[in-house]
Structure 1
């Protein structure tokens, strides 16, 4: 699984100049503008000149960390007025996740957009450019077996000693052979793909706003009862977001 943040909400230069003195992130500036627009008589474009020092230049009055802006955002999240955080967007490039994960992921529709590698137009025959379909081995199947050494060295290749692992690999190999044979018989890729398993890996571009990501994480995070693969995926999304917008970390952690 590979999850990378490709782009995220950025201020225009005009607004960067307005907030540069406080050293805040672009996402935090957007959040404050959206929140204060709901409650202020000032114009959104003038908020930083009039209210910037009050919120970004003052220590939080609720006893929490950060500035008054941090305090205000904490209050907004606690009161569930999180529509104001929908203005902050994140765009991810993702590869090596299973179609099983994709089926679960696309149930989260509000605030998400997906562009997914097509099994209709991308051909997955052994002799095609793809070299055949890749697949994701469930964690429980991996743990059921014992990885062996090849030429005295541990390998990441799928060599295991349990019946579960061997059965899984045999099933993947059979699916590949069946797909290849169907294509040889003139069956188009859009129909031959019907034999590809839920474990088949896929690539996608995904965009989501901050409110949607927080909601997704709360339902799919490790310990939530979600399947292992999508829980690890949720954790990777969180890491990518927090890396560029550190102030969001407490909200992923439910604080």
Structure 2
């Protein structure tokens, strides 16, 4: 599995130029957007002027609640604690997700408000003589834990099933069956590639339901951890949100 952040929400160039003469503080762009959304709900100032008029107050001073970070971090903690997380929906992240099973894809699409573009087996050939050289597959972690006898393990049975499915697909394609019909024999373990986009609120909900320790299948817990890692790589200020017990 490979999870890589390929895009996230940014301030527009015109707005950045609009506020740059008033900014006297260091800020993260996603934090600045979240602050603008939150303060719009409670401030008499127009959204376009909030960073210019209120940014120094929130990003330039230490948190007054005795916890870490700035006054902006205190405000984010307060808003999250009060359940006003709709203000986090303005922050979007897009990921390239590669080499995950079709079984995982089925689990992932149960989460609402996430957007997907998924590699199509109707159009991408999976025969061994094609560019893909056949389908790859994910071996569930518990397959390697089972031994049925000295002569046969769960992995032996699993890999034999994958080879049989590949052979069946190749034969059907060689006989002239369209890809869209031949793909019916490809198992759920076969890998696919996904571009996923979600707003921060939806991604936090996904993480808190699929993180390790919540009873989810191992593969999707690894995806949840990969998404978390990529987000925190650019937005470390969100660490407390992923540590919330929900």
Which TM-score applies when normalising by structure 1? 0.90
What is the number of equivalent residue pairs in this alignment? Answer: 239
Residue 142 of structure 1, CA deviation: 2.7
**2:125 aligned residue:** 123
Summarize the alignment of residues 38-77 of structure 1 with structure 2, pairs less than 5 Å apart: 38-77=41-80
Q: Deviations over 1:64-83 (max 9, x none)?
A: 11111100011111111111
Give the alignment partner of residue 102 of structure 1, picking from 88, 105, 109: 105
Whether 2:236 is the aligned partner of 1:246: answer yes
**2:2 aligned residue:** 2
**2:199 aligned residue:** 209
Residue 14 of structure 1, CA deviation: 4.1
- Contact map agreement 2:24 2:56 (CA 8 A) in 1: no
* Residues 221, 162 of structure 1: alpha-carbon distance in 2 compared, 3 angstrom cutoff: farther
Secondary structure of 2:7's aligned partner: strand
Residues of 2 paired with 1:201 and 1:49: CA distance?
A: 48
Residue 162 of structure 1, CA deviation: 5.2
Summarize the alignment of residues 181-220 of structure 1 with structure 2, pairs less than 5 Å apart: 181-220=171-210
Superposition CA RMSD, Å: 1.4
Residue 22 of structure 1, CA deviation: 1.8
Could you tell me which runs of 5 or more consecutive residues in structure 1 were left unpaired when the two chains were aligned: 146-160
**1:114 aligned residue:** 116
